[in-house]
Amino acid sequence: MSEGGEKGAGGRPNVVLIGMMGSGKSAVGRRLADWLGVRLNDIDATIEYEMGRSIAKIFEEWGEGHFREVERETIARAVRDRPCVIATGGGAFADPVNRATLKSDGGVVIYLRASPERLAARVRHAHKRPLLFDADPLLRIRELLAQREATYLEADHVIDADALSLDQTVARILELLNPGG
């Protein structure tokens, strides 16, 4: 993380991508960060790198509670690297501390919404999603989405990720960030 992010920010806020696993946060985040000329802070990737193990292994070895604690600390560091694009894990925004942190200093929160069927199709071969280690991943996605949807809707903007390609999603976010420009 660059400590100089805040000072050289020119007043631009962070852009925060939230949504379920498989909604495209990391892919959209990479492309958006490139377009904006800022750093991408992918929270799950940072945690995996810093801990030297996959999210699934962290869950297995230390449990979800420990993972959420590390996630909270990683998010707190990421928001200071302003301006940047932050791609959160699927459950990060459900935590009230994370929500407040991510919205701090004018952070613009964008919910990438996708249907349970689309999410299941995107993550069906992913073996690093510990919350989907279930006999029926689609049912589990529906349950998680039902638990999280109201919180996700606290975002500043909602984009239907089912209806748009990666480039269209990025273009829509850029429009939202620069209305009339």
* Domain residue ranges in the chain: 3-171
pTM across the whole model = 0.88
Q: What per-residue confidence (pLDDT) applies to 3?
A: 33
CB 48 within 8 A of CB 137: no
Q: What is the pLDDT of residues 76-133, one digit of tens each?
A: 999 998 899 999 999 999 999 999 999 998 999 999 999 999 988 877 655 555 545 5
Query: For 56-60, 122-126, 147-151, 172-176, which range has the lowest pLDDT when averaged over its residues?
Result: 122-126
CB 86 within 8 A of CB 79: yes
Q: Which residue has the higher pLDDT, 19 or 55?
A: 19
- Domain 3-171 coded CATH 2.30.30.230: no
Q: Is the pLDDT confidence value at 34 over 90?
A: yes
Q: What is the DSSP letter of 14?
A: P
**What mean pLDDT do residues 48-73 have?**
93
Q: Which residue has the higher pLDDT, 12 or 122?
A: 12
| Residue 167 burial by Cβ neighbours in a 10 Å radius (0-12, 13-18, 19+) | exposed
Q: What per-residue confidence (pLDDT) applies to 5?
A: 39
Mean pLDDT, the chain, rounded, equals 88
What pairs with residue 86 in β-bridges? 16, 41
Scanning the structure block, which residue is given the tokens 């990479």? 30
Q: Which residue has the higher pLDDT, 81 or 5?
A: 81
Beta strand segments in the chain, E? 15-18, 39-42, 84-87, 108-113, 157-160
Binning pLDDT at 50, 70 and 90, where does residue 29 land?
very high
Query: For 68-77, 126-135, 141-150, 172-181, which range has the lowest pLDDT when averaged over its residues?
Result: 126-135
Q: What per-residue confidence (pLDDT) applies to 1?
A: 31
How crowded is residue 178: how many other Cβ atoms within 10 Å of its Cβ?
8
Q: What per-residue confidence (pLDDT) applies to 4?
A: 36
